[in-house]
Amino acid sequence: MAILTDSSIDKFLDKKFVIHPFDKKNCLTPLGYDLRIGYAIALNEEIVKCHDNEKVIIPAMSSMFIVSKEHVWLSGKVVGTLHSIGGLAAHGLLINSTTIDPNWSGQLTCLITNPTKHAIELDINSKFITMILHEATEYTNNTPQTAPIIVAKKYGNIYGEEFSNSLLTYITSDANSKTKEIFNEKIKKAQLKYNLRNHLIEKIVNYISILPNWIRLILITILIVITIFLLLLIPFWNKITAIIGVPTLTLDSQTFIAVIAVIVTLIVFITGLFKVKK
């Protein structure tokens, strides 16, 4: 699997995965994306304390259950891993590293433990864990069996009804619900783009793969002729557009290079599909 760096994350955002809200300036790193605290619940033996103000205080020798501010969706070809942020580890905090399955959709939860003898204070919205995204070699249609609301009920069995109710109240709050609506819209658009592209490519590959070699040779010849024609057309482009009555139809260098690149890619692709006959 290949790790997605900051440039790849910026490139494939809202296409192969969705992170919302996305803070490019403060959270995007060369290695991944730093998730922020959206909600926190302190855990100890007797009571559950909810913190929804500006500060999160993790008592000594106790743990804090964290819900990420960001909602995350991964396509079937992206895997995520969560890793401790060095700054928090330097304070003595222990954060459980875990994985994010392909096709995950929702907020992420994490347990932060303070094994020290003094309380540690964090800001709500502060970064608490780094999410690293990996592109898998194969696509999977399998979906995770757990979602945040299921996690709330699951952990409620461990930490009690008060914990479960508090977490569910946050997840279903108006502010979080509005964020989730925008998040879901972005997922729909990303899935549409992803499915259209992959289905189109799949159909083209399947169609070309069953063609006889001589037909593929004809296709390559046609593409080469088109490429040569476009190259010869450049010096006369302005005159041609003026004659046909559309002088505003310009052909800039970037567009031309993109067209040539697509044609060359098709030529290489079709050539690679030639069957070797013995």
Digit-coded pLDDT (tens) for 2-57: 899 999 999 999 999 999 999 999 999 999 999 999 988 877 654 444 445 567 88
Mark whether 116 and 217 lie in a shared domain: no
Residues 147 and 216 in one domain: no
Given 191, 219, 240, the domain boundary residue is 191
72 and 187 co-located in one domain: yes
The count of structural domains within the chain is: 2
Same domain, 130 and 238: no
CATH number at residue 114: 2.70.40.10
> What is the average pLDDT across 231-240?
72
- The pLDDT-based confidence of 276 (bands split at 50, 70, 90) is very low
Could you tell me if residue 38 is inside a domain? Answer: yes
Q: 266: which residues sit within 8 A by CB, 6+ positions away?
A: 223
In a domain? residue 29:
yes
Pick from 98, 190, 108: nearest CA to 146: 108
- Do 158 and 96 share a domain, yes or no? yes
Check pLDDT > 50 for residue 277.
no
Answer with the residue of higher pLDDT: 126 or 44: 126
Domain-embedded: residue 202: no
CA dihedral 135, 137, 141, 147 (to 10 degrees): -30
Q: Are residues 25 and 76 in the same domain?
A: yes
Cis peptide before 148 (omega within 30 of 0): no
**Is the backbone of residue 185 left (phi > 0), alpha (psi -120 to 50) or beta?**
alpha
With tokens 């403060």, the residue in question is 26
226 plus 166 within the same structural domain: no
135 shares a domain with 101: yes
Tens of pLDDT, residues 166-181? 888 888 889 889 999 9
pLDDT of residue 245: 65
121 belongs to a structural domain:
yes
Same domain, 112 and 168: yes
Helix (H, G, I), strand (E, B) or coil at 205: helix
**Residue 88 domain boundaries:** 2-191
Which pLDDT band holds residue 273 (cuts at 50, 70, 90)?
Answer: low
